Chains A and B, each alone.
Chain A
Amino acid sequence: MAKNALGREIPEFIEGYGKTKLFQGAFALKPEGYRAGGKIRCVNSTCTDKRVSDIKAAIAASGLKSGMTVSFHHHLRNGDFVVNMVIDACAEMGIKDLTLFPTALFGVHKKLIEHIKSGVITRIMGSVNGPIGQLVSEGGMDVPVVLRSHGGRPRAVASGDVHIDVAFIAAPTADQYGNICGTQGKSACGSLGYAFTDAQFADCVVAITDNLQPYPAAPISMSQLSVDIVVEVPSIGDPAGIVSGTTKVTRDPLRLLIARYASELIEASPYFKEGISFQTGAGGIPLAVTAFMKEAMIKKGIKASFGLGGITGYFVELLKEGLVERLMDVQSFDLEAVRSIGENPKHIEISADWYANPWNSGAAVNMLDVVILGATEVDVNFNANVNTEADGALLHGTGGHQDTAAGAKLTIIAQPLLRGRIPCVTDNVYSVTTPGEVVDAIVTEYGITVNPKRKDLLDACSAVKGLPLVAMEELVSRAHKMSGPTDPVETEDRIIGVVEWRDGTVIDVVKQLKAK
């Protein structure tokens, strides 16, 4: 057992994970060596159609066997049919002991529980939300899940930490030779950002589509160069679960208040000037921050250079109005975003590698000025937890939290001080996802709490009349006073989750919950 740079105790070896590398600091680890190579393919003119008859035929043709690793993207979100469809077929074909390597899982995937229990899936590397998270937290899997950020995942693939045997890529549009895109078709989801690395590095790539177009399909997001098999199915997803309608700014006064403070913090910062770039996501508070920033940008007469990450209709509106010059879209959240990425050349599809991988020649997050994030808990050292709830159960994926926090010049975590009775600010987070060294400020309804290491930011805020600054100690004491004492989480010794920092070092581990 050794302590990492945050003082978290990490075993040298974790059963089912292997030898651990200790987290040394956000930017401490420098990689050496070469990227993992892909399998060489050779397809000549005797093959002009990569289609097979159905999913089982595709699985058979892919060479997938028990014990291998399969990957999926989550662009169809809660409307996805593909993960369940493929794993059901694997189960029927007697394939077992699979490692599931999704970019994220959703509530719709709770059906996988039966496949976990029957041994079809024995390992998950990726976020485990909702019922699967609960199952894993209570010890329902023999091997710990590995949680990686959106940037940490392509890093793990490109560096050879994870080898994908077969990537199953849900393709809203494809042609028979494997050119695919996400912006067209009845199951359109916009950007296919998270799938690019899988297409590039997997030994075999299967495109699953419900909108087959004559060769060559256009536009093309991922090309025939990396797709080996194409299979047409009646439907890859439920449009209602894939994209939401128009995303609206919240009317909740508390969230609006927090968003207003966050916006005022950004305005007070040195980054609020012509060419500012920001990522605000689709949550209630971040979206409202964007709305307040819009007002402030108009007032000051400045424009943003780009908006990054998950893109909503609200961002599209800013692009149309000329307040943002470009959108770099790794995930399109709503109908407007899907429409825009298909039509507007200033709305650019980017891969997760491009978005956030720390081990390439420069990810988009490095160019980011401001990011607004959430967290289930933040502690006095500004360490943030997004993976577990206060009760210790795995509940959320890491998403781009680590990557944007590490990349942005100003990282703001904005959220109410309490969720129900659970305080969001605490002495010590149950589990660390993102280290305090890359978190610059917490914004709650009580005001702005600046990380003391950002003295420049503190000075900038102090210079603005009426900006409510709250010291971390005061915030914690207020949270304690309001929530009262909470029982500590009771756990077994067994590790059921490994939280990797984006560079592959272990920032924390999550233990199995004691049976109640």
Chain B
Amino acid sequence: MRRTMLYLPGNNPNMLTRGYLFGSDGLVLDLEDAVAMAEKDTARILVQHFLKQGEFGSCEVTVRINGVDTEYWKDDLAAVVPFPALQGIRAPKVDDAATVKIIDEELSIIEDKNGIPVGRTKIFCLLETAKGIWNAFDIASASPRVAAIIPGGEDLTADLKTSRSKEGTELDWARRMLVFAARAAGVDPIDTVFPRVTDDAGLRKETEFIKQLGFEGKSVIHPNQIPIIHDVFNPTEQEIEKALKIVAAAKEAAERGQGAVSVDGRMVDIPVVKRAEYTLLKAGLLEVK
């Protein structure tokens, strides 16, 4: 599950130590925007240290590296990829499939050098420009390493030559495009952060909206946002009850050799069963297959 991926500033030992306690599905140890130029090396060393011996609970651990247009990205990868705790890297400003391929190749070199199965490190791509959004499907299918694509917030808005509004009108099309591209390529669409950290009602509204669009989850900039996002993404008791009925009926039908089956007077076919299984998965009532 990737309902919530919490950014932790790579130069903040307090947050790196306790970040996992807030119960997000994933962590993004940040070496990029959260870290000032003067602290890039410090943050890299600190993050490396934490990957070596820190605790992460059951969180999926990723590191946001600096962009391929900077001098830091190769050092970032070399510092973090060798550690088993790392499951993926979040790459900023991915504009096209070529960028993914460059990172993919570098990852393969490091993995090979360190005796790690090549392909283990996943890539989470941040699409922060109009070009990136336009190329979303190509990016998502550029490498089997790509696990998710994520729209940018502030950078994308700037590239669109507009500003960030409360309603998020400017990001509307990008979000829809991104969900289509991700689903078509078989990767997860994960939404950008909600920047107003004290606006709980606004966060809930935006999360409800992006969930309805088809997003898998959201990037998180403050731990207090996690329970709200989980609350929106978690299936309700009624949804769980209905899903349990559907899955049970489908199982019974399969055992009897029947295809479609009726639950509460409505025909249930394969897509409906799949959706019900997905609901149970999110509720923690079904093992990941």
Q: Which residues of A contact B (CB under 8 A)?
A: 251, 253-254, 256-257, 260, 445-446, 482
Contact = CB atoms under 8 A, between A and B. Distances in A.
Q: Which of A253, A254, A257, A482 has the most CB of B within 10 A?
A: A253
Nearest to A256: B224
Contacts of B72: none
A417 to B, nearest CB: 9
Contacts of A253: 22, 222-224
B18 interface: yes
A482 B222 CA distance: 24
Contacts of A446: 21
17 contacts: A251-B198, A251-B224, A253-B22, A253-B222, A253-B223, A253-B224, A254-B18, A256-B223, A256-B224, A257-B21, A257-B22, A257-B223, A260-B227, A445-B18, A445-B21, A446-B21, A482-B17
Nearest to A416: B18
A251 B224 CA distance: 8
A256 B227 CA distance: 11
Given A253-B224, A254-B18, 15 more contacts: A251-B198, A251-B224, A253-B22, A253-B222, A253-B223, A256-B223, A256-B224, A257-B21, A257-B22, A257-B223, A260-B227, A445-B18, A445-B21, A446-B21, A482-B17
Interface string B223-244: 1100100000000000000000
Q: Closest 8 interchain pairs by CB?
A: A253-B223, A445-B21, A253-B224, A445-B18, A257-B22, A257-B21, A256-B224, A253-B22
A482 B13 CA distance: 12
A478 to B, nearest CB: 9
Contacts of B198: 251
B27 to A, nearest CB: 14
Contacts of B224: 251, 253, 256
A464 to B, nearest CB: 14
Contacts, number: 17
A260 B226 CA distance: 13
A251 B17 CA distance: 19
A257 B227 CA distance: 10
A473 B21 CA distance: 19
Interface in B166-224: 198, 222-224
A254 B222 CA distance: 11
Interface string B13-38: 00001100110000000000000000
A482 B18 CA distance: 11
B35 to A, nearest CB: 20
A253 B198 CA distance: 12
B70 to A, nearest CB: 30
Interface of B: 17-18, 21-22, 198, 222-224, 227
Nearest to B222: A253
A159 B190 CA distance: 68
A420 to B, nearest CB: 10
A308 B175 CA distance: 50
A445 B57 CA distance: 13
Contacts of A445: 18, 21
A445 B17 CA distance: 11
A251 B223 CA distance: 10
B57 to A, nearest CB: 10
B4 to A, nearest CB: 13
B40 to A, nearest CB: 26
B9 to A, nearest CB: 13
B59 to A, nearest CB: 14
Contacts of B18: 254, 445
A151 to B, nearest CB: 36
Contacts of A251: 198, 224
A445 B198 CA distance: 21
A422 to B, nearest CB: 14
A487 to B, nearest CB: 23
B237 to A, nearest CB: 12
A497 to B, nearest CB: 33
A58 to B, nearest CB: 50
B37 to A, nearest CB: 27
Contacts of A254: 18
Contacts of B227: 260
Nearest to B197: A251
Contacts of A260: 227
Nearest to B198: A251
Contacts of B223: 253, 256-257
A254 B224 CA distance: 9
A416 B234 CA distance: 28
B223 to A, nearest CB: 4
Nearest to B223: A253
A175 B151 CA distance: 70
A260 B22 CA distance: 11
B8 to A, nearest CB: 12
Nearest to B23: A257
A251 B200 CA distance: 11
B120 to A, nearest CB: 29
A417 B47 CA distance: 22
Nearest to A482: B17
Nearest to A447: B21
Contacts of A257: 21-22, 223
A421 to B, nearest CB: 11
A87 to B, nearest CB: 43
Contacts of B222: 253
A218 to B, nearest CB: 43
A256 B21 CA distance: 12
A251 B199 CA distance: 11
A251 B222 CA distance: 10
Contacts of B22: 253, 257
B127 to A, nearest CB: 28
A257 B224 CA distance: 9
A260 B23 CA distance: 12
Nearest to B227: A260
A349 B79 CA distance: 63
A44 B198 CA distance: 63
Contacts of B21: 257, 445-446
A285 to B, nearest CB: 15
B226 to A, nearest CB: 9
B49 to A, nearest CB: 14
Q: Which of A251, A257, A260, A482 has the most CB of B within 10 A?
A: A257
B167 to A, nearest CB: 24
A254 B227 CA distance: 13
A446 B23 CA distance: 11
B213 to A, nearest CB: 27
Nearest to B224: A253
